Structure formats: structure tokens, C-alpha cells
Amino acid sequence: MLHALPAPLTPGLSQRDAPRDASREAASDAVTLGMPQLSRNGLSENWLLKEAGHRHWLMLADALGLPVPAFRDRDGATLYATFTGLRISGGALDQVAEHDRLRFAGRIARVSRTQYQSVQTVTVEGRPVATLTLLSIFLRRAVAGDNRSVLRALPHPCPPMLADAGSDSSLAPLCQGFRRQDWREHRGFHRADRQELASVAIDPCPHGDFNGAGFLYFASFQSILDRAEWALFRDVSANAVTTDRDLFYHGNINPGDRLTVRLCGERRDGAASLSHWFEIRRDSDGARIADGFTTKRVVPS
């Protein structure tokens, strides 16, 4: 079934006890923008991903009838809801300013036996700022503390799958195609034309790039792509604002593991826009852990 974003809980109330009046839910979806939410060119994409990811977990917990996103399998083992795909579309992140009221409207659905997808629309004063589509699965560690030893799992209880998810479910087959290297063309880039045009070394920091579950955080992948872009496209990167981004996640790393970000393709529309395809590889074994496709609009200084 489809589940909308639940309102935050009043201390001492369970999710089932919380009041669900429309005015309270509307207020819960609004964020007044300040320095934590803003970046040099408007809304911080990294903050936006973290916020949307958190709301995805809340909707997922609500769908499973849980008061908080504490997921377990039938045997009681801890499960980690892990993103396998992310899409940002229609980005106008530079069209917001301090003190604006940002509003989220989201829904989530089970789109396959093991996958859940949320679609979240972000607006300011009714103006669209971005639409985010996030696809997740559940994983558990096969070896404690090892982020490379994860297995798919099912939560308990598991809600029924809805035949019509009520949203674009194309992200799931795309993620599978990229994980298996079974794709031909995406966003104007062709797999057969892949080149290693340049590379950037990244050393993720355990204090900022990893989340509370000990994994390299899904939003850190976006930050890593931006660091690589800044290193390779410094002439335009400072004034580039994301309009569209697809991120496909294939793996993770342990703290101390270094990464190599490889530029596989790039395209420019004069000085107006920049598009690129990066892949992220784990240095310890060379495994490809993500592919990222980004289009950015270059705004005036």
C-alpha cells in the first residue's frame, strides 16, 4: 500500500497514538531554511538528500507499523534499510533563499518483493524545487563490523505489495541494469563509449562520511561526486547547480578504505550546462561501488 509521510511524534506518544489531523501534518512537512539547509548557490543538495532519506525511513517505518525505523527480520536480527538508487529531477535549488518555507510531500510503496520506493516533491510557496525518487532494500551484515559482508533480507512484518505503486517505478530496473553492467545508454552516455578520461582519489573520513550504522552514508556519495567535479571542472563547478542526478549504489566500504572516482564521460552545452558520468571504485579490491550521472546548470556569479 502507499504511505504518506507521517507527522513527527509528540514525546511519550506512539505512532498509533499520535493525532493525525491535517493541519498538524501540513506543519510537520515544512522547514524554514537557514544556514544548515543552504549552500553557496541556494539549497544544499547534500542536506536535501539527508532530509529526504530520513523521511523515506519514517515513511517506511509507518508502512511496517513501527513507531520508529528500527527494522528486524523474522529472527530478530537488525536490518539496515539501504539505498540502491537515487534520482533528483527538476532541480531548481538556486531558487530558494534564507527564511523560505520548504515543504515536502511524499509517498512510499513496495515495488517488488524486496524493494521500496519513495517519491518526494519539494516546493517553496507552491513552486517546485525538486522531485526526489529513492529506492531501498533491507540488508544485514553477515560478518559483524564488515560493510562488505552484507546480505539481502526481509523485514518482519512485511506489508503486501501493491500492483500499482502510484509512482514511476523505472528506477528499480535501472538499478539492476547498472549493477549487472547490463545497460546501453543513459542520459546521453553510452556504455560502449566509456573511457577513463580522468580520476580523482578520495579518502572518506569516518567522522563525516559514515552514518550512525557505520556505513558510508548514501548522501556522502553525492558529496564525493561533487568533490571530483570540483577537482576536474573548476572553471564552472563553483557556479553549477544540479538539475538532474541519478546515483546507482552497488556496494560500500569500511572506514580506512580509499576510493577512486573515474570520469567516464562528460558533455557541455557551451557555458550554460555541464553533464558528466562518474564511477566510484573501492581501492582495496577495485570493485565498482557506484555510478553517478549528473546534469548541472551554470548560474551567473
Q: Could you tell me the pLDDT band of residue 146, with boundaries at 50, 70 and 90?
A: confident
With cut-offs at 50, 70 and 90, classify the pLDDT of residue 113: confident
**Cα torsion angle, 38, 279, 135, 9, sign:** negative
Residue 4 has what pLDDT? 52
* pLDDT at position 119: 96
Query: What are the distances in angstroms from CA 229 to CA 115, 240, 252?
Result: 31, 10, 21
pLDDT at 158: 80
Give yes or no for a contact between 203 and 216, defined as CB atoms under 8 angstroms apart.
no
Residue 24, pLDDT > 50, answer no
Three-class secondary structure of residue 146 per DSSP: coil
Please report the pLDDT score of residue 301 as a whole number: 75
Pairing mode of beta strands 116-124, 127-141: antiparallel
Q: How far apart are the first and last CA of the chain?
A: 46
Q: Above 90 in pLDDT, residue 137?
A: yes
- The contacts of residue 21 (CB under 8 Å, 6+ apart) are none
Q: What is the mean pLDDT of residues 249-264?
A: 97
Amino acid at 207: H
Q: What is the pLDDT confidence band of residue 165, given thresholds at 50, 70 and 90?
A: very low
Structure confidence at residue 135 (pLDDT): 97
Which is higher by pLDDT, 82 or 26?
82
Predicted confidence (pLDDT) per residue in 89-111, tens digit: 999 999 999 999 999 999 999 99
Beta pairing partners, 229: none
Average confidence score pLDDT of the chain: 88
Per-residue pLDDT band for 55 (boundaries 50, 70, 90) equals very high
Give me the pLDDT at residue 141, please: 84
What integer is the mean pLDDT of 222-226?
98
* Number of neighbouring beta carbons within 10 Å of residue 144: 6
**174-189 tens-digit pLDDT:** 999 999 999 999 999 9
> What is the gyration radius of the CA atoms in the chain, in angstroms?
19
Q: What pLDDT does residue 216 have?
A: 96
Instruction: Quickly state the pLDDT bin for 14 (edges 50, 70, 90).
Output: very low
